[in-house]
A and B are shown apart, each in its own frame.
Chain A
């Protein structure tokens, strides 16, 4: 009994020693492996890949990586047509009028105008018929900004009509004003006469000192204050068209120590027509011109609407007398909009839409021009930051856009909201006046910090059409957009200025940007860490989701291949006889068939499911491995220790198990590693060629579109590089691993 106990104790001791010895051996070999540079690199890459594969459900942003398509809000954007840097721009506080766009008049047409804070006036060409090259900048004239004053902004409007072969040919005027009441107007003319020759110059800049501190940039009757008018339909004010040299007027609102004055100036020469002291001089926040041109010369159809505090007043534009005055229960906030159709013809329902507030709620009201009758259109508990209208028609304009609390409301009738859009709140408020693009039926709005949205005015559908972001620099602002016609494409475009000095011209049309470069903060709020591919799929999610399938394919093919090869290699290598020769021949035949061709043939014959592909790749991987193994087996068979084992009475199985297997184990690891990399490369090849289904998400599948269009590699590196690098690293890591194993096994290649 005691002896028995001693025996079991000894046995346990013996086994413990064995296990300790195994651990010791493993540690020793590990240290050699680790010391070899290749092994270490390979090991770490593999560990990283394994961790990514395990964490892939967490790491991938969109779990349906295969079918997920980034929303069009993220992938649709206008193209940048041109841009120009003009240095310090005179961007006033509300960014309403830093740029101005010209009409289609051939003199000075297709230009964007801007004024810098130092008073330099520039025209930036959009490619004119008069051959000013695209993006060419012309310094038209400079004004002197007296000390203590600032430039308020720039406006462009036609003031004179010249009859030319039955049409009215327009001549553009540029007006800039300073806060101290200096108003400068200059006509634009082309020296040299015909196209292709000469240059654009500003003729006869005239300056008039009103002696008032201007509250805002003066307006012209010739050009509606509402910037949503299309330049291609210029509005010539015909108020006094019978008087030669007085086709348009300029209205300015300013104040001095004695009170607030509304001033009207004639343009040619620039001179005062009348000056009217306003009765409610406090808290004036907007002045607008509302009226039609040549059709109806009735004085009451051209008027100025002034809101101040909770009163709204209409003055006749002809003589400055008050038409009507109304006191509302709410305070006017200054935002208003006039549908452009109301500017071109007179109807009884011509109206202006104003925003008001009582501190707890905000309202949009319409006021008839004729008599000041008001009607509520919209109300919201949140602040209404800006408002815009489409062209108009009978009654309400076809739609109104109201932005409130980062939401855009498209209103079809009083109290009827046809559609809403949530806008990004990360880029400042949407305060500047939107522009309406008549041919597309869209509104384009900008936020202070550079977010630009295009919203459809068409009723009954999601108003969102596109969004983009322009970075005006840190703490930079961008101005309100202006509408212009792109001469080269014939399409409408918008232009805005940014406080970094750039004047940007964007197409009004959004286009799909796929493949899209990486964006951390997309308009929709998701992350596109590696952008999108041509289909709009999230590359990052696909990339991460490809890790597990590649591992599964690699490891399973590696192991299946090695298992087949081990069995066959041992049979062919160790035994002699018919079976061995037959297997040898079969292996050789399979080995000699061109791998890729066989791969493609097998894939097309079998249904290319995930497991079939694993089997096919395994089927191709074993012949080479078998030959390597059987060669080693044959050479080991020649070694004396195998003979010694035979002399010792060992049977075949014992020799195979005790002598062959341990001696080829490192080789097996080596070959498995090679097989793994071969399998991953194999499935990548199949999917790249489009033979294997692309529903198996691997790096090869990601690269499949490249087969038809190699240009993608250059145009969308964020999409092409990650799977390529991952594939290379993965294959390389296993080859490095096998190299490290080789160093453990083969002391001869160990080097210091």
Chain B
């Protein structure tokens, strides 16, 4: 017994997990997919390691490999050792595993099972699906104990309560079914489950993805808190630099299955030694600083199925030369504790390569407020949860529950601006966009659209598809969008001059159509022309506009042959082919990889600057809203709580919700403290809304008046208003009082 303890003592100081020359190749139908190549890692006891990478970089494969859960069709090389025990190596996996005798296999799998959860546990990606919806949380957490320990039912109950409380949840959450918990609570329950057996190592795979900003901040602070107590060592995997920077001591940057850089977190952030890390970090728009141009990374992630000589990043790297595209760089220790896979790492260390910041492109154009293009007047969209038939059969009026998705919103979007709509999920921003485009019939209120030109019908032969130049004065025709019939001439004009870009590029373009026929759709729908050559010219031109170059190489491709960024560009091309006046972009970048986001945002900026298209940019990401938008509207539970010029709103948020929202964005900054966000709970649903202020239940400054009376609109600055009973001074007083 004493000996064992000594042994553990010795190990505690040393390496907990080591990944040695580890590589994974999946044998897929399309070919051999190199998911990981020569990964060398070590994790010391008590340390927290962050793994950053875009989708396809192999970070989840690495996490599952550490758990020993790699699927059968993989071929692996090297090994992973935990506490000196081999978890996975090439001699006991795949074909070799199948050759083992049954008994040996059993021993191996039993070893892995005992190791899983007891020694290594995992917070899985997508907490929504981590729980079985048919059982209570208690049963599912209890199951962990039942499988791995010999505790009796009472002890299990006791331990479950301890565990759930340590994750910051009330013990009543144990009795709940998964659907009764909010996203944040579910994530906490997942963390509680991972910590149930006090494992030596916790792997958090995208622990905050899919959560709202505020919830994300709370989970980060929870994990930070647990780092000191329940969690010994941790691996945090994320594509979000902010999240990793807050949770990790050291950071590993993965790109296409290769480690690009390893180093202490803040060193890497401040002065990265690798061009990819630098490019990645500069792809994030900053919430703190003023607008400066972000470049993103040109091109797309390499195809993992093809043979690629040299450095995988070379085709996208601005420093790349011949050497890079032919010789694979080694992962070198450039400075103590800092590894980088680049031929020119030293030059980064010496400061020879320095990023220079360019001015923001919209600065050049300048923001000129002009006449409105869209006006919403008391726009309201309610959804009834009960169907008509049901209501008639069992019809009690009060039983019909109403979702107030958009509740009496007044707004005005001006010609030529990028108008941001910001809010957490459930705030009604997407519904607003769809009501404005009349994809949903508004319950009440009006949408007015000011169309260019005053012709009711287009002449196919004489009308060109050329865009009208952005000129200041022109003849506009007011269309009451909510009042006209779908098949009317006005509606045709409205449809032709407005367009929508969807959030999910994988869903918004028809998988069965080529890029060409996707893009030509509006041309055909509006019968602009039926001359195939003309259509072909228009399609090629617009593909060039969205920078799918050369267009000929894209026209015959199918969506599944495109990357996410390319798909989103195709969706944009479809939206732009008829040169619309007004474009609603509904979270267009949220599904894209980080390196591609900046490129797409720059495309939107460029479109506005070149063609004067008005964009309604719907997003939950404040940083990108700040980067792109001229004006911002913040929505909360169907109501707009604050609106103003984006710089004003960001620098000087007026509404308590906006303040919390801005503060909750994780920043690569050691001083960022998510625990100091002044907000309670999570965004509810828009069914049982308070009579008074919508924000009442979460507001730390709420008073009695907030519960009963709807707040008035206060406009302390020009064009910058917020919805509250109190002035800024009053709020500040409340705040100091709270503290």
Contact = CB atoms under 8 A, between A and B. Distances in A.
Interface of A: 7, 10-11, 14-15, 21, 639-641, 643-651, 654, 658-659, 662-663, 665, 747, 750-752
A654 B556 contact: no
A648 B575 CA distance: 7
A84 to B, nearest CB: 57
B522 A641 contact: no
B29 A640 contact: no
B213 interface: no
Given A648-B525, A654-B524, A641 B533 contact: no
B574 interface: yes
20 contacts: A11-B532, A14-B532, A639-B508, A643-B500, A643-B508, A644-B574, A645-B521, A645-B525, A646-B439, A647-B439, A647-B499, A648-B522, A649-B495, A650-B524, A650-B525, A651-B525, A659-B510, A663-B512, A747-B560, A752-B73
A437 to B, nearest CB: 73
B664 interface: no
A751 B29 CA distance: 6
A648 B507 contact: no
Contact of B500 (A21, A644, A650, A659): A644
A751 B510 CA distance: 25
Contacts of A644: 500, 502, 508-509, 571, 574
A640 B73 contact: no
B437 interface: yes
Nearest to A648: B522
Contacts of A639: 507-508
B492 interface: yes
Most buried by B among A7, A10, A644: A644
Interface in B478-525: 492, 495-496, 498-500, 502-504, 507-514, 517, 521-522, 524-525
A651 B439 CA distance: 13
Contacts of A665: 512
A647 B513 contact: no
Contacts of B571: 644
Contact of A21 (B511, B513, B556): B556
Contacts of B508: 639-641, 643-644
Contact of B509 (A11, A21, A641): A641
A665 B512 CA distance: 10
A663 B510 contact: yes
B526 A649 contact: yes
A747 B29 CA distance: 9
A526 B525 CA distance: 68
Contacts of A7: 533
A663 B511 contact: yes
Given A641-B508, A658-B513, A648 B536 contact: no
Most buried by B among A7, A640, A662: A640
Nearest to A751: B29
Contact of A14 (B437, B496, B536): B536
B525 A649 contact: yes
B510 A649 contact: no
A32 to B, nearest CB: 9
B29 A750 contact: yes
Contact of B525 (A10, A654, A662): A654
B671 interface: no
Given A640-B508, A752-B29, A10 B533 contact: yes
Nearest to B494: A649
B29 A647 contact: no
**10 A-B pairs with the lowest CB-CB distances in the bound complex, closest first:** A640-B508, A662-B512, A648-B522, A649-B495, A650-B525, A649-B525, A750-B29, A640-B507, A640-B502, A641-B510
Nearest to B577: A648
Contacts of A750: 29
B513 A650 contact: no
Contacts of B512: 659, 662-663, 665
B357 interface: no
A659 B508 CA distance: 12
A643 B496 contact: no
Contact of B28 (A14, A21, A641, A752): A752
B688 interface: no
Classify chain B's interface size.
35 or more
Nearest to A8: B533
B73 A649 contact: no
Contacts of B510: 641, 645, 658-659, 662-663
B27 interface: yes
If over half of A's interface residues share one DSSP class (helix, strand or loop), that class is named, otherwise mixed; here it is helix
A643 B439 contact: yes
B255 to A, nearest CB: 26
Contacts of B525: 645, 648-651, 654
A11 B533 contact: yes
A386 to B, nearest CB: 75
A647 B495 contact: yes
Contact of B492 (A645, A647, A649, A658): A649
Contacts of A747: 29, 560
Given A659-B510, A662-B510, A648 B533 contact: no
Contacts of B502: 640, 643-644
Interface string B46-78: 000000000000000000000000000100000
A513 to B, nearest CB: 56
Given A640-B502, A647-B495, A662-B513, A752 B521 contact: no
Interface string B530-571: 001100100000000000000000001000100000000001
Interface string B312-350: 000000000000000000000000000000000000000
Contacts of B556: 21
Contact of B533 (A14, A640, A654, A751): A14
Nearest to B514: A21
Contact of A648 (B27, B495, B513, B532): B495
Most buried by A among B27, B524, B560: B524
B381 to A, nearest CB: 16
Most buried by A among B503, B525, B574: B525
Contacts of B492: 649
B739 to A, nearest CB: 46
Nearest to A644: B508
B29 A648 contact: no
A158 to B, nearest CB: 81
A15 B574 CA distance: 22
A8 to B, nearest CB: 9
B70 to A, nearest CB: 16
Given A641-B507, A641-B509, A658 B521 contact: yes
A639 B504 CA distance: 10
A23 to B, nearest CB: 12
A650 B575 CA distance: 13
Contacts of B575: 647
B58 to A, nearest CB: 20
B188 to A, nearest CB: 31
A695 to B, nearest CB: 45
Nearest to A642: B510
A34 B218 CA distance: 53
Interface string B225-244: 00000000000000000000
Contacts of A11: 532-533
A468 B509 CA distance: 75
Contacts of B514: 21
Given A641-B507, A645-B510, A647-B500, 14 more contacts: A639-B507, A640-B502, A640-B504, A641-B508, A641-B509, A647-B439, A647-B495, A648-B522, A659-B512, A662-B512, A662-B513, A663-B511, A752-B28, A752-B73
Nearest to A641: B510
Contact of A647 (B27, B73, B437, B532): B437
A550 B437 CA distance: 54
Most buried by B among A643, A645, A647, A747: A647
A641 B570 CA distance: 12
Contacts of A643: 439, 500, 502, 508
A747 B561 CA distance: 13
